[in-house]
A and B are shown apart, each in its own frame.
Chain A
């Protein structure tokens, strides 16, 4: 558990130190990518509780979701239709669903103790 947190802090530190900023027209891509990554993380936590965690599925989901979301955003931009709302909606719904399931497992676990 401690290793991913260290990784997170390291990533934040690098992000803050490096002089990189995102142009405003790419901000929607970035936000969708963040959402996809968070969705993958919650999915990973859920599957690890269910003991079905698979690192290949996790990593391919992590990058695949982010890339697909970015592509959808790009197509939406070209067509003038905000398709990335679909990505935000899908990821958001799944994020909350996963969180609800994780919560349930945890509460059941606490009660058993």
Chain B
């Protein structure tokens, strides 16, 4: 083998090394490190989460598309989407207690006790407190009350019921006895739950003689919530559709 061939080979080899090194450098590959099994599982998990999110987003797209189709159909048929939108608004208002509603239900009238206070007893036992109202409202909700008002004050998910000395503050407004609690629902169930043994009234109010009068009504009207919309901070979560 003569020297020229030898140098030729060296030249070609050097060129190959230079070439692959340059290509590798240019590809700008960052070192990924050793992929351990926990890391692998982590990545798998991440992929899975992203896929789930993707699916949710697709579902929400489909839902919205259906909604849009509905709107379009309505526009074609009646000339406007007003009807559907009004229906939706109605539903939302009903759900958020803004509407004046009617239905069968009960009216519960409560007043402080007229009994004489015995020796060594506390007068507070014979009065209606905020906690009593809270417990009774809670019981009514459990019995399936769909709309509740206290002295005309609609009970919403954000309604506060708090002691205000001789009065009770409902959503910051003072109310005194007698308390009239109206609840729409199945009248029999509501009454039964209020009067059942071990109910709050039976346990805490009968002994001291707090006056409770329950009236079943076929057609009861409850006014809508009149306060301002309190939702100021909460937002729908990002990426999560309605469930």
Interface residues of chain A, those whose CB is within 8 Å of chain B, are: 3-16, 18, 20-22, 24, 27, 30-31, 33-34, 37-38, 40-41, 55, 58-59, 62, 82
Contact = CB atoms under 8 A, between A and B. Distances in A.
Prevailing SS type, chain A contact patch: helix
Contacts of A10: 15, 18
Contacts of B17: 8, 11, 34, 37-38, 41
B27 to A, nearest CB: 4
Closest 9 CB pairs of A and B: A11-B18, A15-B22, A7-B14, A11-B15, A11-B19, A7-B11, A12-B18, A4-B14, A8-B18
Contacts of A22: 23-24, 27, 29
A15 B23 contact: yes
Interface of B: 1, 5-7, 9-27, 29, 34
A100 B29 CA distance: 30
Kindly name the residue among B6, B7, B15, B26 whose own CB sees the greatest number of chain A CB atoms within 10 A.
B15
A68 to B, nearest CB: 16
Prevailing SS type, chain B contact patch: helix
Given A11-B14, A21-B26, A30 B19 contact: no
Nearest to A40: B13
Given A21-B26, A38-B17, 19 more contacts: A6-B11, A7-B18, A8-B14, A8-B15, A8-B18, A11-B19, A12-B18, A12-B19, A14-B18, A15-B26, A18-B23, A22-B24, A27-B27, A30-B24, A34-B17, A34-B21, A41-B17, A58-B9, A62-B13
A82 B34 contact: yes
